[in-house]
Chains A and B, each alone.
Chain A
Amino acid sequence: MFRRLLRTPVFAGIATATLALGVGAAGAVFGVFRSVTEYRLPFPDSDRLMVVNEQSLPKYPRFSVAAGNFRSWQKESADVFAGFDLSNATSASVQLPQGPAQTVLGQVTFGWFQTFGVTPILGRSFRADEDVPGAPRVVVIGHRMWKSDFAGSTGVIGEAVIFNNEPHVIIGVMPEGYPPAGSQQAAWRPLRLTAEEESDHNSHYFQARARLRDGVTAEQAGERLNEIAARLEKEFPDSNQGWRVTVSSFNAAVTDEARPALRLLLGAMILVLLVLSANLSTLVQVRALDRRRELAVRAALGASRGALLRHALGECLALGLVGGGLGFALAHLGRDLLLRFAPGSLSSLHPGGPGSDFVAPLAALAVALGAMLVFSLAPLLKATEHGTLAALHGGNAAIGGRNRSRRVLVAAQLALTLVLLACAGLLLRGFIRSAFVDPGFEPDGAIVYRVNLPEAAYGDNASKARFAETFLGRLQTIPGVESAALGFILPFDGDWITSAAPEGRTYGPNETPQAFLQRVTPGGLRTIGYRLRAGRWLTEADNATSAAVTVVSESFARTQFGGSAALGQRIRVGGVDATGQAREIVGIVADIQQAAPGERLQRLAHVIVPFAQAPWGNFMVVLRTERAGPPLTAEVKRALQAVDPLLPLVGGDSYRDQLAESLKLSRFELTLVAIFAGATLLLSVVGVYGIAAYSASRRTREFGLRLALGAEPRHLSNLVFGEALLLTALGTLIGIPAAIGAGRLVQSQIHGTENADPLTVAAMVVILTAAVLAAAWRPARRAAGTDPAAALRAE
């Protein structure tokens, strides 16, 4: 069997490579898909762990939780939840022997670890009496921090460590594997909700996790919480109107971000598998036809149909063994590579159970081999059905015969390829738009750092404003610094959405205009590179004691005041202005891109307030320097420590890198689809080449005859190209509606893409046609070089 395959190295090589590619790709993608869909957090009975979110449709399908609501739910849901806790995370400075460092500190209600079902490997977790305002500060540190900063010492319990300028006593060390994949939290302390927070139904900035009781489903738990939410809506209509609760699996939530890309990938994979099967079918059909004489001889010598079937099966199995073996290796490699280069939480996933290593590639192999067998059987049976005489006499009486089923197969391959190419084209367009969109500011040449002021040392607004003023003054004295700004939350660094209501207007619940809030130091707008459209910049005169002012973006001015009429108008900015107060719009800047175009909230308008009038403890430092050269991190660090030696400095990257990071997921999706579109194009080209080469070889006598009848070589190559173009036209005809449908699907799954437009589809048809013509080029040249005498003698 192997010997016969080795005698036809081109067929064996193409079939093996095609099988290996298909099995490998299917295995890799299904492997990743299973890793994601079957992902289980490394906690006991993790299927019962739930994420609880608030929801206000249609704007916020999943939103963070308000502490006041949480307390109400918690009190009345003990029958559905065995544990129900709250957390948030804060960026915190930590004093380590090697100097101050920045870390992420989790703040959790005392039952948090029990809800997860994890216990510290050293010490203990929190007690209820530690989770109240004013209780002594205690902390549980993560395994990584314990190993790296405390050398894994068992004597660490009882030691004090300073977080955010406050000493915390270490009471426990968490095991390896906590926190779950994707989390950056290094240590945890009790949340210590204040009475004010416990009655706040309006500030949604907490994360809630719960553990279902045995026998309770997520739906039942959701119903219970929504009963409570309906009651809270009546009790607190101002804050709770329209708010509901969702309860969903935590396991699934970890991989939520990557699911649309994976669904797309899975679709692409199925198309590749179809193309692969069609391709292999064409190959084996062609080969079976070439072997009809051999089969006829075998039949004439007494081989039964069963024997011929075993013969074909044996060949498929031999190919399957080699191609499948290579494919399995590729699947393993491909899955690991995909996971390694995947963005976000996906990159920290591990493959699913051991079964996932075999099921998918085996299924792909079975589909491909099944298709091969079916398509090799038809010519085989034909060879025995019509007797052996014709085949033994060459069976070549027909000149210029066609094979409809092979044509249909190749046309179908081309149609599927067009679908994938169109999807790749849409993603590429979305990506280009994301990458080259005008962000509304000037990220090039700006360097960014982050500074976090601990509440313990900077508890009031005045101290924060003082720090900002002093630090900014020092930054501006660094040689080479052209200008400096402090701001929160600046573009591509997250978002803070707040209400921004024009004075004198009244709104129903959830109807108040929303906008991104930014707090920026004087001169900062120019440093970041915003463009002033009307009015004036914020200046040093806009300080804590002066009149409250704001600068808004063009879309805010347009939607709320119809444009430049906004200047001089007054708005109340939620979270900044007290009830009954408002601030005057003194400037309008060009619209700003707050987040990557792929993200949902990118289109909101902006309101920007002077930092001195709304100080904040976390901010981004933006420096614009006169010269390109070595980063100024050392000088910036000195400037910071001159103001407060305990504060760590984080960052030093260019603002452009910040934007690039935000494009990572779309680049991942694009890369995946491009790889699959490329592979499909390659497979289709192989298919077209196969059919064109085979068809040309079958038509040698026809070509010889046509030459004898007066044709020129170009007429013959035109015949080959013509057939290839006919197949392309047929494939395009089928493929265009399918591509448009697939485009809609891509658009629904991946933000930042648009429907399949005529330009993209046309461009992909051109690429496909070019690829097909390239595939037909060699057979066409061979046809043009036909020797008529030799061709006609071949009878």
Chain B
Amino acid sequence: MKPLIELKNLDKSIPTKPSPTWLLRRITLDIADGDFVTIMGPSGAGKSTLLNVIGFYDHGWEGEYWLDGQPVHALKAKERAALNKANVGFVFQQFHLLDDLTVAENIEVPLRYRDLKSAEREAKVADALDRFGIVGKKDLYPAQLSGGQQQLVAIARATIAAPRLLLADEPTGNLHTDQGREIMTLFKRLNNEGTTIIQVTHSEENAACGNRVIRLRDGWMEKG
């Protein structure tokens, strides 16, 4: 079966003097559909950079990147945006909820950029609120929620458009241990339901929730 993600000799550098600084070096990697992959490594190893490249948020790289058989490296910006919209959801360490929107409105944001009618959007939001058990919080603002609840909303938002690939950058980094465990349980549930998950974490406990670990050091993938 063809992997969902194929990276071949992917390099990423930033221009510095006298020579460029390499953030990612010759990354070659396959991720199958339905995988739950954890990227680990020390600070500055290139974990978030790799996640951003996979999530299409970083464009200045070289090499090949295939997503679901589509050559991302050869696509125009608009085509990449469409591919991203159709396939990718992103969860951040800082949650990044919009403070002046309610829980329901925050969850709805991705749908606003996906040509859906208002009634359809409302139905999907109601569904998500129910699925994540936050119906009672739908009219609250982010500042009125705990960290765990905020991340729950952020995950609901990331999955509202039913992405095949969920990317999570330190999703429990700002949470208490118990809240972190709840989030990981949720990730496992989503993975079991078919969502491919790639997470960046420092936590071995979180890594254990996945089925594969990729270790980075100074931009290189460690063998083994």
Contacts and interface: CB of A to CB of B under 8 A. Distances in A.
A715 B55 CA distance: 20
Contacts of A715: 113
B113 A711 contact: yes
B84 A705 contact: no
Given A708-B57, A792-B57, A401 B113 contact: no
Contacts of A710: 84-85, 110, 113-114, 161
A706 B90 CA distance: 11
User: Chain B binding site: helix, strand, loop or mixed by DSSP?
Assistant: loop
B81 A712 contact: yes
Interface string A689-729: 00000000000011001111111100100000000000000
B109 A401 contact: no
B139 interface: no
Given A399-B96, A400-B100, A701-B96, A709 B55 contact: no
A123 interface: no
A402 interface: yes
Contacts of B85: 710
Nearest to A707: B57
A312 B145 CA distance: 37
A795 interface: yes
B157 A709 contact: yes
Interface in A400-427: 400-402
A537 B85 CA distance: 85
Given A708-B55, A709-B110, A710-B110, A795 B94 contact: yes
B179 interface: no
A120 interface: no
A74 B99 CA distance: 83
B156 interface: no
Contacts of A708: 55, 57, 90
Q: Which of A401, A709, A789, A795 has the most CB of B within 10 A?
A: A709
A617 interface: no
A543 B195 CA distance: 110
Which interface class (under 10, 10 to 19, 20 to 34, 35 or more) fits B? 20 to 34
B97 interface: yes
A708 B97 CA distance: 12
Contacts of B55: 708
A705 B113 contact: no
Nearest to B85: A710
A7 to B, nearest CB: 25
B99 A401 contact: yes
A264 B96 CA distance: 52
A634 interface: no
B92 A398 contact: no
Contact of B99 (A400, A707, A712, A795): A400
A401 B96 contact: no
A792 B167 CA distance: 14
A513 interface: no
Contacts of A563: none
A715 B111 CA distance: 13
A476 to B, nearest CB: 81
A399 B58 contact: no
B111 to A, nearest CB: 9
A711 B101 CA distance: 16
B100 A402 contact: yes
B161 A399 contact: no
A400 B113 contact: no
Contacts of B113: 706, 709-712, 715
B35 to A, nearest CB: 21
A267 interface: no
Contacts of B74: none
Nearest to B110: A709
Nearest to B55: A708
B102 interface: no
Contacts, number: 47
Nearest to A398: B99
Contacts of B57: 707-708, 788-789, 792
A714 to B, nearest CB: 10
Interface in B81-98: 81, 84-85, 90, 92, 94, 96-98
Q: Which of A399, A706, A707, A712 has the most CB of B within 10 A?
A: A399
Contacts of A795: 94
Given A399-B97, A402-B100, A789 B109 contact: no
Interface in A373-411: 398-402
Contacts of A400: 98-101
B52 interface: yes
A709 B98 CA distance: 12
Interface string A751-790: 0000000000000000000000000000000000000110
B96 A705 contact: yes
A709 B57 CA distance: 11
Contacts of A399: 96-99
A710 B85 CA distance: 5
Contacts of B114: 710
A392 to B, nearest CB: 17
A715 B110 CA distance: 12
A711 B96 CA distance: 15
Contacts of A398: 99
Contact of A709 (B94, B99, B109): B109
A789 B52 contact: yes
Nearest to B106: A709
Interface string A590-621: 00000000000000000000000000000000
Given A708-B57, A708-B90, A792 B96 contact: yes
A711 B98 CA distance: 14
Interface string B107-124: 001100110000000000
B97 A706 contact: no
Q: Which of B84, B85, B113 has the most CB of A within 10 A?
A: B113
Interface in B29-43: none
Contacts of B92: 705, 792
A789 B169 CA distance: 12
Contacts of B99: 398-401
Nearest to A702: B98
A710 B114 CA distance: 8
A87 B98 CA distance: 81
A445 to B, nearest CB: 64
A708 B51 CA distance: 12
A581 B52 CA distance: 104
Contacts of A788: 57
A399 to B, nearest CB: 6
A706 B101 CA distance: 13
Contacts of A712: 81, 113
Contacts of A701: 96
B181 to A, nearest CB: 24
A705 B55 CA distance: 12
Contacts of B94: 795
A400 B57 CA distance: 20
A402 B100 CA distance: 8
Contacts of A705: 92, 96, 98
A708 B110 CA distance: 9
10 contacts: A400-B101, A705-B98, A707-B57, A708-B57, A709-B157, A710-B84, A715-B113, A792-B96, A793-B48, A795-B94
Task: Sort A-B residue pairs by CB-CB distance and give the 7 closest, nearest first.
Answer: A710-B113, A789-B57, A709-B110, A788-B57, A710-B85, A789-B58, A789-B52
Given A399-B99, A705-B96, A706-B113, 19 more contacts: A398-B99, A399-B97, A399-B98, A400-B98, A400-B100, A400-B101, A401-B99, A701-B96, A702-B98, A705-B92, A706-B109, A707-B57, A709-B90, A709-B113, A710-B113, A710-B161, A788-B57, A789-B58, A792-B92
